Amino acid sequence: MRSLYRSAGYAAAVIFLAFLVHNVNALYVEPTYLGFKNPAVDYANVDKLKNAIGSVPWTLSGLGHFFSGFACVVLALTGRQIFRDYKSAAGRLLLGAGFVAATGFFLTGISDVAGGGAVKLLSAQNPDLERAAYLGASISRIVYNCMAQVGLGWFAWQLSWCGLKTGTLPKSFCWFGYLSGLSGLVMGLTFFPVYLQLVLVWSGWLAVVMWQRAARQAA
């Protein structure tokens, strides 16, 4: 179990680093350099999308999403293993929730990086389809990202439920997990920017919790 907890800690740290990049981009880089003053509206502006897609901040964010997909697979398998003896549907649903999040993150990352190159090539070869290409890419990315956040929010809820019921995880972390998870679930219905900060704290806290458990196992 020691190596399992340590791996989960590294996976949570990957998500933390990815959301650190997302936060820096969303709070400073995108408003300052890419013109996204109001993300809920500006992601539909073709001129701003043309400037953003393929840029360094956009690519770094895409890579963060991509690697978060791998991290969610690790967390899904780890969560299921930790609570394998807990006779509740919540323990088994951890696996499914983690895979939903992983799929959303993979699709978002691929859309950001490979998809960004594809939409630029398509636009260059078919200028009459430029607006449609960029708007289609934006809509797809929004859907994929919402899927990722809903899946991660669901995972955080299941993890908090199991952690509280079994006493395996700190209560304060579990209650914060409910809050962070709720912000992700809301993303499936409407734009909720605070989820960026909540997931940043939650993932960093999860990394610490997992590494502490690994240290106790070693002792």
| Contact call for residues 155 and 94 (beta carbons, < 8 A) | yes
Instruction: Tell which phi-psi region holds residue 176, choosing left (phi > 0), alpha (psi between -120 and 50) or beta.
Output: alpha
pLDDT of residue 52: 83
pLDDT of residue 191: 80
**Taking the model in full, what pTM does it have?**
0.92
| Contact call for residues 123 and 133 (beta carbons, < 8 A) | yes
Give the count of beta carbons closer than 10 Å to the beta carbon of residue 56. 10
pLDDT, one tens digit per residue, over 82-138 is: 888 777 777 788 999 999 999 999 999 999 999 888 888 888 888 888 888 888 888
Residues 102, 105, 109: CA angle, nearest 5 degrees: 140
Closest among 188, 2, 158, 167 to 88, alpha carbons compared:
158
Distance CA 163, CA 151 (A): 18
Residues of the chain below pLDDT 50: none
| Contact call for residues 199 and 176 (beta carbons, < 8 A) | no
